Structure 1
Amino acid sequence: MKKILVTGGAGMIGSNLVKRLVNEGNEVFIIDNLWRGKIEYLNDETGKPVIPLESHFFNLDLLEQGIADEIISKVEYVIHLADIVAGIDYVFNNQGSIFRQNLLINSNVITSVRKFTNSIKGFIYVGTACSFPLTRQNSLDVIPLREEELYPALPESAYGWSKLMGQYETELLEKETGIPISILMFHNVYGSPCDFGERSQVIPALIRKAITYPDEPFHVWGSGEQGRAFIHVDDIVNALCLALEKGLGHGVIQIGPSVCTSIKEIAEQVIEISGKKIEAFYDKSKPEGDKARSADFSKAKAILDWEPKVTLKDGLNAQYNWIKKQMENKKD
């Protein structure tokens, strides 16, 4: 049994990870300020929380320095998922705020971990493919990204810069304290439970629009040609558990598929799942972000024995059904 802290543990990734870790017999603590996460995401099939909330869940704001010290003093491993991120509209309209908040969140957590060098056995930091240089993501001719291409650094967004700075400070943590680290750079994660409101990311936003159509128009931001390497949350949880087992001490590892899927393809699949006759409108006045990207996951395969397993078709069907159920429950 390991004693593990998961920051951001009530979010989409965090709640799925916590359930997996608890199921494997670990004692799990959570810090989450519930900006996007929800307490009910931590419930099992019977509706009961998978951890004792009164002693293992902490509604705290990691922007406050030292606030995690007491909890980190009780654990052996820290998996740091917490950050400020949302859909592309939010990211590009709040760049200064996102950059500052993520810098503080990451630095505060890492500083707290430093205080317990003798008791912390491993630190996992979650980065993002948004930290790769814009020059490697500004063409539709996609060559899978490799970890060694991170520098010279030129992320497109403040979000990508803030996460890259967190990676750098994580590397300093290992170098200066000897605490073994693992940095997993996630590509575009989707799945449930998730936010499907105004701050949601592309897949849940399109699913919501398909479900509500024609009351809500099916507008797709950008040309639809822009693409991403979409990865299901179940595959992400597998990667995190494998990193805890054998990824510590191996630095940066990319987690994502080698296939780049266009937003137009996603929109078309969502329409097909809906069974409706939906006319998609591509709003080219809206931001697209990076043109396209995919992952060379050979390092993940070699070190973690990881590769994507959930097909996009199965993942989209599952997420569509989950969001539809949530929306029906709200009406009731």
Structure 2
Amino acid sequence: MKTGRRHWATDLKGSTVLVTGGGGLIGSRIATLLRELGARPLSLCRRDAYPAFVYRELFGVDENDPDVLTGDISDARLVRHAVEQSDYVIHAAALADVAACTREPSAAIAGNIMGTQTLLDAVAASDRIRRFCFVSSASVYGNGLRGEPACAETRTMRQLLESVYGRMPAVFSEYDRLHPLSVYANSKLWGEFETALSLRPVGASFVILRYFSVYGEPQIVKQGSHSWVVAWFAARAAIGLPLHLNGGGHQVRDLVHVDDIAEGTIRALIAPRAHGETINIGTGKPTMIRTVAELTAEHFPDVKTLQTPMPPGDPEGGYAATGHMLTTLNWVPQVSVADGVARYAAWLKQTPQAVPAWLRQPTAA
């Protein structure tokens, strides 16, 4: 345990934290950090989104660990059993693929809405849970509003972006009007409201986190998805395929490394000022998709780019207003995009099996 930078979480030592979606990229990283902090992570996950070796070899999830529960959050009995053992709950389970939610809205409703309600019912009935953390998404903002940038660095970036494609990126504040543009985003917005409606009347503490674009090793791509741009670009570049710039690559994302996501989430779980709050977890820095392609090319010099159509439900995007995060958590993310892309590229070169077989087929080009 790295005590020098973990003193902020001493209250977690000896506690049990239920992490739904604990077998996925984000959930497994949160579970790892919880162990470092002296807490017991209790992971609940279906473990059916990836091949078995991904969970075992890449995410480090041991299916034989008694603290790894395999099942669905719609299983009320299993959920009650998990909640009864826990002091905190981090609800990260979701059908988080925008394209998959668009193709199968009923699956998004079953997992992201009905499953969330099953969990909320169990938490509301418990007198043990100290705080419930609902993982939401910046996608609830849609294309957002365009306010004035707060610092000179951001003003320079926005001027550059405007010169490239004639507009300035949106900055998303927790107090903005929300306009979800996809099934996935709509399901997350429902979860935000339902969390408050279910837990506030019974006096249960909760916090809502809006993650911006999560990336970082060992994230891997899913067939038919257009999310996770760093993983997509690096995987394609590694096997000599062109990088697809949907809509020209002018979309803006606030890319947050999974290490920062894990720490920000756990900080929100215990920060006194986070009670009842909705908090952005982002860097506060806009990055164009084109820029990600350029950063990827630094590590795969022969890669080429290809202009492709904008997929349905893919927002123009923006970046996080981070003032509220700083005030409530006394923290900001640490990993820069350049460093994060470099780390991912290095990891992928050392882990070639992370490039899925279907991507290597001729039709993938």
Indicate whether the TM-score tops 0.5: yes
Instruction: Tell me the CA shift for residue 97 of structure 1.
Output: 3.0
Cα distance change, pair 330–184 in 1 and its aligned pair in 2 (3 A) = closer
Of 196, 214, 218, 1:171 maps to 196
For the pair 1:111 / 2:121, whether they are aligned, the reply is yes
1:231 aligns to what?
Answer: 256
Of 104, 125, 130, 1:121 maps to 130
Name the SS of the counterpart of 2:171 in structure 1: coil
2:149 aligns to what?
Answer: none
Distance 2:216 2:321 in 1: 22
In structure 2, the gaps of 5 or more residues are 1-13, 147-165, 357-365
Distance 2:103 2:293 in 1: 24
Distance 1:133 1:265 in 2: 21
1:156 aligns to what?
Answer: 181
Q: Deviations over 1:122-159 (max 9, x none)?
A: 1111110001144438x94124211111x4x4210111
For the pair 1:60 / 2:71, whether they are aligned, the reply is yes
Distance 1:72 1:90 in 2: 29
For the pair 1:269 / 2:295, whether they are aligned, the reply is yes
Instruction: Tell me the CA shift for residue 275 of structure 1.
Output: 2.6
Cα distance change, pair 42–211 in 1 and its aligned pair in 2 (3 A) = closer
Name the SS of the counterpart of 2:351 in structure 1: helix
Distance 2:59 2:333 in 1: 24
Of 302, 321, 324, 2:346 maps to 321
Q: Which runs of 4+ in 1 moved over 6 A?
A: none
Distance 2:237 2:354 in 1: 17
For the pair 1:210 / 2:237, whether they are aligned, the reply is yes
Distance 1:330 1:130 in 2: 27
In structure 1, the gaps of 5 or more residues are none
Deviates more, 1:92-101 or 1:319-328: 92-101
Normalised by the size of structure 1, how large is the TM-score?
Answer: 0.88
Q: Deviations over 1:86-142 (max 9, x none)?
A: 2x54343334432443111211111111121x11111111110001144438x9412
1:17 aligns to what?
Answer: 30
Of 50, 70, 75, 2:81 maps to 70
Q: Which residue identity is paired with 2:283?
A: P
Name the SS of the counterpart of 1:175 in structure 2: helix
For the pair 1:81 / 2:106, whether they are aligned, the reply is no
Q: Which residue identity is paired with 2:117?
A: S
Cα distance change, pair 290–330 in 1 and its aligned pair in 2 (3 A) = closer
Q: Which residue identity is paired with 1:208?
A: A
Normalised by the size of structure 2, how large is the TM-score?
Answer: 0.80
Contact 1:188–1:230 (8 Å) recurs in 2: yes
Contact 1:124–1:184 (8 Å) recurs in 2: yes
1:243 aligns to what?
Answer: 268
User: Where do residues 34-45 of structure 1 align in structure 2 (5 Å cutoff)?
Assistant: 34-36=47-49, 38-43=55-60
Cα distance change, pair 22–85 in 1 and its aligned pair in 2 (3 A) = same
Instruction: Tell me the CA shift for residue 220 of structure 1.
Output: 2.8
Q: Which residue identity is paired with 1:303?
A: T
Of 18, 24, 28, 1:5 maps to 18
Distance 2:170 2:142 in 1: 13
Q: Deviations over 1:238-279 (max 9, x none)?
A: 101211221541410111122211111111111121132x22
Q: Which residue identity is paired with 2:254?
A: A
- The aligned length equals 317
Name the SS of the counterpart of 2:235 in structure 1: helix
